[in-house]
Every structure is written in structure tokens, then in C-alpha cells.
Chains A and B, each alone.
Chain A
Amino acid sequence: KAGVTQTPRYLIKTRGQQVTLSCSPISGHRSVSWYQQTPGQGLQFLFEYFSETQRNKGNFPGRFSGRQFSNSRSEMNVSTLELGDSALYLCASSLGTGGIGEQYFGPGTRLTVT
């Protein structure tokens, strides 16, 4: 079974631009969550989608948005990029939501904003 895939793996953008990151969950998984990892901050929750609906949202500005498609693939978009948005963006997929099943993480997209 293929794991969680994220594209692109690396991205360099300029301040003020926007970016779209993609996540394909494990086949059959309906929940996708997004996290931002920065040095010293650990992983911080961005949002969770389940069956195309946003279930939960973290404390990030409105510049961060996401969506989920009917095939469970998810995208996240960051508009008006700032230098502080440079981070590793991880997505995780799970069969359902709220259960004790583990979440499987993708390798991440490394975003650098210059």
C-alpha cells in the first residue's frame, strides 16, 4: 500500500507570493490533517479535513487555507507569503477521525520564503 505523498518536496518562493501544496493520503483514508514544523516550535496543527469538510482549525491567520477533494486528496494554500512561513509542512492521513487509529505522515514539503 502506497504511503502518504506530498508534492512538491521542496519549494522556494518570494515574499508576497502565494503557494499551493498537495497531499495524497493513503488509499481509503478519509481524514487529512496539516501541520507546520519550525525549529523550536515542534509541529503545529493547521487544519483537519474529513470527507471534504474542515473539522478543525488551528491558530493560524486566514492566509492559510485548505480544501479536500472527493478522492480525499487535499491541498493547502498560503497567500501573501511572509519570511516566517518558511517551514516544513506535513500532512497526515487517517482512516477516520477521533478514533485511536494512528495517523500516517507524509515526508513533508520544505517551503523557503526569501
Chain B
Amino acid sequence: DQQVKQNSPSLSVQEGRISILNCDYTNSMFDYFLWYKKYPAEGPTFLISISSIKDKNEDGRFTVFLNKSAKHLSLHIVPSQPGDSAVYFCAARSNYGGATNKLIFGTGTLLAVQP
């Protein structure tokens, strides 16, 4: 049962345009959501996060939007740069039942930013 889903395995955008990566979840007990970026042969790198009590969090070129009623979050990258080309993972956590660092990850979206 995939609780966190990234339905687009890949996405290609032009340099300077907006990249929008989507993520859906099924567990209403998730209280914290994160986006990670992963280059080949490296571990995932934290990008941005959002608590379930917010609907938007912004950090430079990266903005995450959370729609709790739709159980949907998205990551916007504006403007996109070739160095943003990587696999992006959406992850979620629930502290219901006790404090934990356990993250449930989506399967990732490969973003290719064309120069």
C-alpha cells in the first residue's frame, strides 16, 4: 500500500521556466512533509519541508504547497536551472503513536532541466 505517491516518474522543463512536482498521500495522520533531491551516487539532500498546520512554505526558488483536503502537495521551482536536474522525492511523517523520524517516501520524479 503506497501511502505517498508521485505519479509522474519524469518531468522535463526548459531552463528559466517553472518546474512543478506533485505528490499525493493517503494517510490523514501525516503531520510533516519534506522534499528531498537526489543526484546519482549520492544520498538524498533535504530541500524544503512543511508542517501540516501550514499551506505554504517558501525558501528561495523553492516553494511547497500543501492542500490537506485534497491530500496533495506540490513543489514549485522558479526559475528552474540545469543544476536542478535530479530525482526529487516527496516524504511524509506521522508522530501519531509516538515521536519518530520514520519517513514514508514516494517513488520519486526525475526532473530534467533543458538549457
Contacts and interface: CB of A to CB of B under 8 A. Distances in A.
Interface of A: 4, 31, 33, 35, 40-45, 48, 50, 55-56, 58, 90, 92, 94, 97-100, 102-108
Nearest to A106: B43
B45 A97 contact: no
Contact of B46 (A35, A41, A44, A104): A104
Interface of B: 4, 6, 32, 34, 36, 41-46, 49, 51, 89, 91, 95, 98-108
Contacts of A103: 46, 101, 103
Given A42-B106, A102-B34, A4 B99 contact: no
Query: In terms of DSSP, what is the predominant structure of the interface of chain B?
Result: loop
B46 A107 contact: no
B101 A31 contact: yes
Contacts, number: 72
A44 B89 CA distance: 12
Contact of A43 (B41, B44, B45, B51): B44
A105 B49 contact: no
Contacts of B108: 42
A45 B89 CA distance: 14
